[in-house]
Amino acid sequence: MASIKSNLPRRRYDAVIVGAGGSGMRCSLQLAEAGLNVAVLSKVFPTRSHTVAAQGGIGASLGNMSEDNWYWHMFDTVKGSDYLGDQDAIEFMCRQAPHVVYELEHFGMPFDRNSDGTIYQRPFGGHTANFGEKPVQRACAAADRTGHALLHTLYQRNVRARTQFFVEWMALDLVRDQAGDVVGVVALEMETGEVMILEAKATIFATGGAGRIWAASTNAFINTGDGMGMAARAGIPLEDMEFWQFHPTGVAGAGVLITEGVRGEGGILLNDKGERFMERYAPTLKDLAPRDFVSRSMDQEIKEGRGCGPNKDHVLLKLDHLGADTILKRLPSIREIALKFANVDPIKEPIPVVPTIHYQMGGIPTNYYGQVVVPKNGNHAEVVNGLYAIGECACVSVHGANRLGTNSLLDLVVFGRASGDFIVKQNLKDKAHKDLPADAADLPLSRLARIDGSSSGERVQDVANQIRKDMQAHCGVFRKQELLEEGVKKILELDKRRMHVHVKDKSKVFNTARVEALELDNLIETAKATIISAEARQESRGAHARDDYPERDDANWIKHSLFYSEGNRLDYKPVNMKPLTVETFQPKKRTF
Ligand SMILES: Cc1cc2nc3c(=O)[nH]c(=O)nc-3n(C[C@H](O)[C@H](O)[C@H](O)COP(=O)(O)OP(=O)(O)OC[C@H]3O[C@@H](n4cnc5c(N)ncnc54)[C@H](O)[C@@H]3O)c2cc1C
């Protein structure tokens, strides 16, 4: 195809960050403060990124309210990951945690306070003292609006540092040159429909998760997996995509999240007999066991007929015993959500809840500097020059097969900052931009041409909704071979169907139908990666629970999955079991 790059407007930056959530804005702050020329693209106004919805807290072993240290935090994270997390990256994160939280405090983040002025910390699932002995208070919180406080603090600091925001700009595809180096992105200005090439010496993906490949999700509508889609189309594999976290407490029927902080403050789960069933499944941590464990226990109760309501399809989250004062002070938004979405006042009645898709543990493979790494010539971690990924779209991997609550906000800030520091050290100012390849914009322009040229076909939302339905039905809390195989077939069928969608509205100005059609290409890449990796992994580990393979199989499966879109093929790479300075935590049976 003839080169079309020269027709497009181009702009040059030292660094282009795609995504203005917690990870993107923590990275951009580091770069802008070091004097680099940084552009941050976002589909929505920065403070509307999904990070704003985070409720419960950010984990750090400050030890303000009960004795704590980073080593216990590391143990909990490795065990929580069901031994699939890379222990070097986990040590790095847990050691950095107190430092990055104090830094946020000094940026002005409005944490809740104890009477002695220190940061308030609440217990959270899977976080323990002394290697699992009892729950510890590690979640630093700003009421139940921690993400809101974090994101606004970071946005304001970025405005001060003169970060340049491209608001309502959608990145479409990466630009990779002949050598495989990343030299920028092609993006669409949603207001005008114009396409531009943004050249960069460092391109950083901070595009968040893809929770919208599921029908019932706690995620924002913009979480369509664009980073994963762009990476997959550029030949980069996606790591551990079979591991998706079901949050135990989504409002039944609505999907809106009720933070684990409710249980951290003392809330408990009940079945239809009024029984606190978690005592049976996790005698030590009870309702504060990790999320994979609690979600499966809830599902088991429902399956065995002890669910609540006319359809016996949910359980109850009781918190009235905490008293109106605690609820109004520590959990004000939860009360509002319960009133609006479940029509109950939690000061008086329990909230109906059900496990709901919440978080992807997998993503674009990186090291703990945020550099994207891929297998090449026998090396399983060859750096892709010029490309970085941070936040939920990245797989470092600190969460392995199951993430502990509060460890995501932590991951955003730790790796947002670490990648920023690493990029600053590359002295980008002294380096020239690499030349754009002749076919720089061919892929995104051909995608747009397909959409703009359509004259008949299916509606985008019909295909997108079918993806969500099929993923939900074939790849849920409990999985099994036949169901997964059927699901893979259906998703591959949808992969063909999405090539023939029809968008009626051909206008350019703020055409959201066009944007949704572009997002569909990303939904399908993420869905394929998820269900194909899940079908292949014949064991149960963390959030990936197989009815037909109920045990964890350490002999065969302590390895990361890698999904390649081209040929829909899988590969694997070893887990890094070696921490930076301490001894390996050897796999053990997980009990709580
Ligand atoms: C309801 C809820 C509550 C949560 N509570 C907690 C909690 O208490 N503690 C915790 O640790 N974790 C929590 N999590 C998880 C955590 O909040 C997320 O994992 C995290 O905020 C993701 O941040 P991010 O920076 O990776 O991306 P996001 O905050 O999701 O931001 C993604 C950014 O990428 C942009 N973007 C995406 N695609 C494109 C594109 N193609 N072009 C341009 N821009 C693009 C978006 O506009 C946005 O700015 C919660 C999650 C949810 C959904």
The predicted structure's pLDDT at residue 1: 42
CA of 367 to the centre of ligand 1 (A): 20
The predicted structure's pLDDT at residue 7: 81
The predicted structure's pLDDT at residue 2: 41
From first CA to last CA, the distance across the chain in angstroms is 59
Strand 194-205 and strand 379-389: the pairing is parallel
* Mutate which of 51, 93, 402 for ligand 1 pocket (most atoms within 8 A of beta carbon): 51
* 48 assigned binding-site residue: yes
* 44 assigned binding-site residue: yes
Query: Degrees (nearest 5) of the Cα angle 516, 520, 521?
Result: 130
Provide, rounded to the nearest whole percent, the portion of the chain with pLDDT above 70: 99
Catalytic residue among 95, 138, 291, 541: 291
The predicted structure's pLDDT at residue 4: 45
291 included as an active-site residue? yes
Closest ligand 1 atom number to CA of residue 412: 25
The predicted structure's pLDDT at residue 6: 54
Residues pairing with 572 in the sheet: 561
CA 550 to the chain's CA centroid: 26
Q: Spell out, as residue ranges, where the chain has pLDDT lower than 70.
A: 1-6
The predicted structure's pLDDT at residue 477: 85
Strand 371-376 and strand 351-360: the pairing is unpaired
Nearest to 294 by CA among 458, 150, 124, 429: 124
* Mutate which of 207, 243, 337 for ligand 1 pocket (most atoms within 8 A of beta carbon): 207
CA of 17 to the centre of ligand 1 (A): 14
DSSP code per residue over 312-350: T-BEEEE-GGG-HHHHHHH-HHHHHHIIIII---TTTSP
The predicted structure's pLDDT at residue 135: 95
Residue 427 to residue 103: CA distance in whole angstroms: 24
For tokens 């060859």, name the residue: 382
Ligand 1 neighbours (beta carbon < 6 A):
18-24, 41-44, 49-51, 53-58, 146-147, 169-171, 206-209, 218-219, 222-223, 226, 257, 259, 359, 391-393, 405-409, 412
Residue 102 zone, left/alpha/beta (φ > 0; ψ -120 to 50; rest): alpha
CA of 50 to the centre of ligand 1 (A): 4
Residue 272 to residue 185: CA distance in whole angstroms: 53
User: Strand 315-318's sheet: what is its strand order?
Assistant: 244-251, 351-360, 315-318, 268-270
Q: Are 463 and 497 a contacting pair, CB within 8 Å?
A: yes
Quick one: which H or E segment has residue 530? helix 512-536
Q: Are 267 and 318 a contacting pair, CB within 8 Å?
A: yes
Query: Degrees (nearest 5) of the Cα angle 138, 141, 145?
Result: 145
Six-digit token string for 316: 């109850």
Quick one: which H or E segment has residue 291? helix 291-303
Residue 115 zone, left/alpha/beta (φ > 0; ψ -120 to 50; rest): alpha
Residue 169 zone, left/alpha/beta (φ > 0; ψ -120 to 50; rest): beta
Six-digit token string for 221: 């509508």
Six-digit token string for 364: 């674009």
For tokens 């216990």, name the residue: 72
Where does residue 432 rank: exposed (0-12), middle (13-18), buried (19+ CB within 10 A)?
A: exposed
Query: Degrees (nearest 5) of the Cα angle 516, 356, 51?
Result: 60
